[in-house]
Structure 1
């Protein structure tokens, strides 16, 4: 006999673990998440500058990747050996808004982790030979991307989802700009990193006084942060379709963008619920129709892409050429339906439980809490933001969502990016957009 699992009736109470907030003498904020019962410690130095600040396309991302590829003291192999023989990890991360150095390992190596993180951040070598190796690898990846319809659809959508904004640019640039990057350009990008507003987050079984002492010795010589040139918020060009043609494609990839809001917007909690109902998991509408009912695809999803200077709700799926037109019609119908009809109680409750369960599983360790802290810092949110957000998610009822559904979920506001055979994809999108453009692989010669 088929029965439904009982839904939890106990409210989720999320409380951010205790965080100690200190400052280095140069004004760098330090956030310490103690965890006496953990063996792992992570040190993250995060800087609020990313690809949107690039003077030369790709400079921030490539400079960040070069930080751990040799220092003044050690070449790339020597630095890797210093890290790995301790069983530790030192990695760099960059995106449109920020970049960071993250060192992690067993607590017994804490002193060394701080020094290794400081060494790669403060004294990178920017060796020309290592740059050439990295350039060749990334260029090879780019040429693979160029035949991937999902990547092409993403690039096509970004062109008008972030109309004229730095977010529309690929993080690494393109093969042409990559060939023109020099160590001198990377050093200029590195100088911008060091001058940007920064935070240091330490998570693990640490003593706060010792942490500050070690960080002061390693990072205290950095200049006080300087404000960056402001970046405007991104805007969309609604009702625009962008085609990235791939004439030999056997499938069509869709990447659709709808308006979204920032984390601190009053509508965000409701937006998250509506987006989850639309396509946030395997019980969601897009997945149920396109995969379970029609069998067109392995998956169809909707998600929020919230950045510091813009936000979109994305829809993604890929289908065989024969199913392209009907898939576009299904997506349009589901967006229109969720933008105009009340969500029923059971559907909302399923989505709520999905959000709560995913959130709880994603914030179990001090290192996961550190990531949450960086999100709050980067988006200038209060430290109890997620506690209040989780409570808000649990209080909303279908009637609370209707205004959000009507404001943000409409084909009148969307951008449709699509990649595949032009004679297949163009007829599929002609009725759901007002203008159609073509994305070209300029710079990929």
Structure 2
């Protein structure tokens, strides 16, 4: 009989075991990583492509390509593609990030044979109809006009431009750039980028040998490379200058604040420790920034910081919106928090709390086979393997107040950061 008057025993989180995938590489260059779960009736098939760029980087073309993949093929209209997928209760979603584009299918195991041919049709015969492209351009120009009136969007735009200049990481859309999109350029990029030799397939769920045979038939035998192999080149990033940029808006009720600096990515040995310091500083609801700026001062509803890993770099960013009457005070408090982080040791209790939070979050994120696949994907595209997570958990467990201060002094220097304020100061 359970004695509910006694609290359960606590146990420290030890090493976390992650599932290794089966790996297949086919003659056409397609790489497949398989995460099987026999008890699952759901299949997730994620086709991931390296983004390719022209000599003048234009990430807008890549985002347009990703968004319009489902807009029609020679044999199916966009409506037919939607109907063919919806009829079987499946879900097909394209996604775009700075370095990769993907299209992911979620389907019940028993209907995979009916919906995978739709994906194969999209990956081999998308036509990007002019009418759908015109609609895409019109809708996104209207959204951009709305966004440009929002202080947080403008601050973010200034921030990325300052960190990454005119590269895939720094360019944001303009109305002129949307007007310059052409179907010919889309098709040219599609024919170079959407190739099996440029594709990685992450297959997870109730994967059977029959499904693998279907994958081989559709995406190996019937998906030849039709262009020479291309590689993703590294962008040439500009010299960074930390400074304060203020954009006054007379009618502003709130000021958007964006602060940050270029930083390391997941391949750097300091990255897990830097994640720890960021979490303590502004990376979760109980962070120092939230306690001070939100709970104690009441300057904002939300404030937070993040560490972003990119294939060719990374960055630290802090973002919030505050009332225009407290903008200057908020900036002073943020600077003070950076100084405290650098100048004094964090309490042992705070370090222990962040350890438990991060290790618990890591453990809680592995609720299914699909989570294991996502964890693998997060390291694979950086040339890493699952040993990364052993190093990660070991680093988190070994963090001390002195290590927190050491990392903060190296990566969290407020005076070296770029600060964008859009509103009033």
Normalised TM-score (structure 1): 0.88
Q: In structure 2, list runs of 5 or more residues that go unmatched.
A: 1-6
Residue 405 (structure 2) aligned to one of 390, 402, 407: 402
- What is the deviation of 1:355? 1.6
- CA distance in 2: counterparts of 1:333 and 1:364, whole angstroms: 39
Name the structure 2 match of 1:355: 358
Which deviates further from its counterpart, 221-230 or 311-320?
221-230
Alignment of 1:5-404 (within 5 A): 8-49=10-51, 55-170=57-172, 173-195=173-195, 197-207=198-208, 209-220=209-220, 221-223=223-225, 226-232=229-235, 234=237, 237-404=240-407
- The whole-number CA distance in structure 2 between the counterparts of 1:197 and 1:65 is 19
- Counterpart in the other structure of 1:432: none
Q: Residues 151 and 101 from structure 1, CA distance in 2 versus in 1: closer, same or farther, beyond 3 angstroms?
A: same
Per-residue CA distance 1:191-221 (angstroms, 9 max, x = gap): 23124632111001112x4343222222222
Residues 46 and 98, structure 1, Cα contact 8 Å, conserved in 2 = yes
Question: CA–CA distance in 2 between the matches of 1:100 and 1:158?
Answer: 23
What's the offset of the Cα at 1:351? 1.5
Give SS of 2:314's match.
Answer: strand
Distance 1:191 1:87, change over 3 A: same
Identify if the C-alpha distance between structure 1 residues 313 and 217 changes in structure 2 by more than 3 Å, giving closer, same or farther: same
Could you say if the C-alpha distance between residues 82 and 419 of structure 1 is closer, same or farther in structure 2, counting changes exceeding 3 Å? same
In structure 2, relative to structure 1, the CA distance for the partners of 1:383 and 1:28 (3 Å cut) is farther
Cα drift, residue 123 of structure 1: 1.1
Q: Distance in 1 between matches of 2:203 and 2:55?
A: 26
Q: 1:289 Cα shift?
A: 0.6
Which stretches in structure 1 are left out of the alignment for 5+ residues?
426-445
Mean Cα deviation higher: 316-325 or 392-401? 392-401
The root-mean-square deviation of aligned C-alpha atoms, in Å, is 2.2
Cα distance, 1:50 vs structure 2 = 5.8
Q: Is the 8 A contact 1:254 1:318 kept in 2?
A: yes
Q: CA deviation at 1:237?
A: 1.9
2: distance between equivalents of 1:50 and 1:349? 43
Distance of 2:64 and 2:238 partners within structure 1: 27
Q: 1:342 to 1:206 in 2, by over 3 A?
A: same
Deviations 1:313-342 (A, max 9, x none): 111111000000011111111112212322
Shift of 1:244: 4.2
* Aligned 8 A contact 1:52 1:166 in 2: no
Q: CA deviation digits over 1:3-26, x for unaligned, max 9?
A: xx9995412432112311111221
Say whether the 8 Å CA contact 1:49–1:99 is kept in structure 2. yes
SS at match of 2:95: strand
Deviates most, 357-366 or 231-240 = 231-240
State the shift of 1:58 in Å: 0.9
Question: Alignment partner of 2:285: what SS?
Answer: coil
Q: TM-score, normalised by structure 2?
A: 0.92
